[in-house]
Chains A and B, each alone.
Chain A
Amino acid sequence: MKLKYSLFTRRQFLNGLFGGWLGALMVSFLYPVIKFVFPPTREPDQVILPFLDFKDMKPNSVKVFSWGSKPGFVKKNKNGSYWAFVAVCTHLDCNVTYIPEQRKFFCACHDGWYDENGTNIGGPPPRPLRRLILIIEGEDLIIKREGVK
């Protein structure tokens, strides 16, 4: 079927084509730029530490380990069991500390408090500290993200 009138002029058509081409060119330039500025950083699936280092911990104390570029805490509970946390405040990402006398985690940046189970109990933190899965296998202490097999 032939239209009686064209929907746009030849000039409009060519301008659209040219503009579209320029746009596509820009996107193809921008894509690598954006890829470049976001480096691939993934937190580790798991870290394996020698259990020997943690064997002699006193109950109700923590020991720091490297969870990627963040600190993690291995905590020995009063009953002798071990837990692992990401030692970073859920409010605005400051590193927390453990105060054994009060049995609480504390973030100095904006006065955030967590109880000994990592539950947020005071100040601005919106969520509990992140727990990690901790498995003791012979000589090894294996710390995993949740959901990793």
Chain B
Amino acid sequence: MNLLGKKKRAQSWFDERFGISGIVKFLREKKIPQHKHSLWYYTGSAIMLFFVIQVITGFMLVFYYNPTLAEANKSVGRIMTEIPMGWIIRSIHSWSSSFMIAFVFIHLLSIWITKAYRKPRELTWMSGVFLLCVTLAFGFTGYLLPWDDLSLSATKVGTDIPRSIPIVGVWVTKLLRGGEDVTGDTLTRFFGFHVCILPVFIFILLAVHVYLIQKQGMSLPLAVESKKEKIQELPFWPNFVYRESVVWLILLGILFTVAIFLPPSLDKSADLMAPAPEGIRPEWYFLFLFQALKIFPAKILFINGDTFIVILILVEFLLFFFLPFLDNKPAEMKGKFITFLAYVTIVYAVVMTVWSLL
């Protein structure tokens, strides 16, 4: 028997037990529609690229990082100065997180504007909103781990915000901090969130999200869908994957370039007793919120300014989460208004972010 025959036999042996041929067949036959909004189809796999980089570099950093009050800052310093290639690994981890979040925002807005969440894709959208929350939680918990003045103040503020939620708020803050105040316990806890708890959630949610996308196929924008003529399609394998890999290579090039030339800084170890340093700010993706907290007055209509903001955020989040159900007449006036709101959100976020940097 020749080698080819052996390979075939091994394949069929495996398939008999694993049943992989269905998946292979599915991927062979999967088609990606081609139209003028096809570019947005690439954003999902771009997020996946940065996510995989986060996982790999995260595994590496955890070999040397110490999540304790006395050692955290020192161990990051050691990664940056002593460990061979340590600085570039941390730099990639830090930059890739920003890139990942940037692409999450682009992905989300493209889906909002093209209304890809229309029936039957409501659950895909909702799992995506959860993925957004988990991704932001990764960013927020990761920001504390270097344990310098900047990250300490950002965490104090960030974990104090839920306190304004009626009834459960105090407990949420305590749960996040591991006590009344931000201490060494908070650091260890955040490390636990960052490397144990959030990864479990993100893998489950990703599995659901990706499964739903495969099950329902790529969504078509309204304008394309309503046309009668047949839409051009591209086979997923290998044509679309080749195109995606071109995008990946370009993104990797940009990522490595910025990671090499602009490595993240590391300040001296945080002092729990020291006043907050001037010019503190969170990561760029929380700046719009930071600015809102800054400009809101102490009292609005008899309630605290930050309670007002928190309630506003919760309401907005719920509207956002249920957007596919609210946007039930996509082609009509209501649908157009909801698309318009996406642009309003973009302008609002950009204006607040730029303002916070002034």
Contact = CB atoms under 8 A, between A and B. Distances in A.
Given A108-B278, A125-B298, A126-B304, A93 B157 contact: yes
Contacts of A39: 178-179, 185
Given A41-B181, A124-B298, A64 B273 contact: yes
A51 to B, nearest CB: 20
B174 interface: yes
Interface in B270-311: 272-280, 290, 293-294, 296-299, 304-306
Contacts of B174: 38
Interface string B131-156: 00000000000000000000001001
Contacts of B290: 110
A95 B160 contact: no
B179 A41 contact: yes
A66 B273 contact: yes
A148 interface: no
Interface residues of B, number: 35
Contacts of B233: none
Contacts of A96: 275-276
Contact of A108 (B180, B181, B280): B280
Contacts of A7: none
B160 A93 contact: yes
B175 interface: yes
B165 interface: no
A93 B274 CA distance: 13
Interface stretch (A22-30, A53-61, A68-76, A138-146): A68-76
Interface residues of A, number: 31
Contacts of A109: 153, 156-157, 276, 280
B161 interface: yes
B42 interface: no
A67 B322 CA distance: 45
A43 interface: yes
Given A108-B278, A124-B296, A41 B180 contact: yes
Interface string A106-127: 0111110000000010011110
B298 A108 contact: no
B273 A92 contact: no
Contacts of A94: 153, 156-157, 276, 280
B171 interface: yes
* Interface SS, A side: loop
Contacts of B296: 124
A37 B175 contact: yes
Contacts of A123: 294, 298
A87 interface: yes
**Residue of A39, A96, A107, A124 ringed by the most chain B CB atoms within 10 A:** A124
A97 interface: yes
B293 to A, nearest CB: 5
A95 B181 contact: no
Contacts of A104: none
B276 A108 contact: yes
A130 interface: no
B183 interface: yes
Contacts of B293: 91-92, 110, 124
B185 to A, nearest CB: 7
Given A93-B157, A94-B157, A108 B275 contact: yes
Given A69-B183, A94-B157, A110 B304 contact: no
A84 to B, nearest CB: 14
Contacts of A71: 272-275
Contacts of B161: 92
Interface string A31-52: 0000001110111000000000
A96 B299 CA distance: 20
24 contacts: A38-B174, A38-B175, A39-B179, A39-B185, A41-B179, A64-B273, A66-B273, A69-B183, A71-B273, A92-B156, A92-B157, A92-B160, A92-B161, A93-B156, A95-B153, A96-B276, A107-B276, A108-B279, A109-B153, A109-B156, A109-B276, A110-B293, A125-B298, A126-B305
Given A94-B157, A108-B153, 12 more contacts: A39-B179, A69-B181, A87-B275, A92-B157, A92-B306, A93-B182, A95-B275, A108-B275, A110-B290, A111-B294, A124-B297, A126-B304
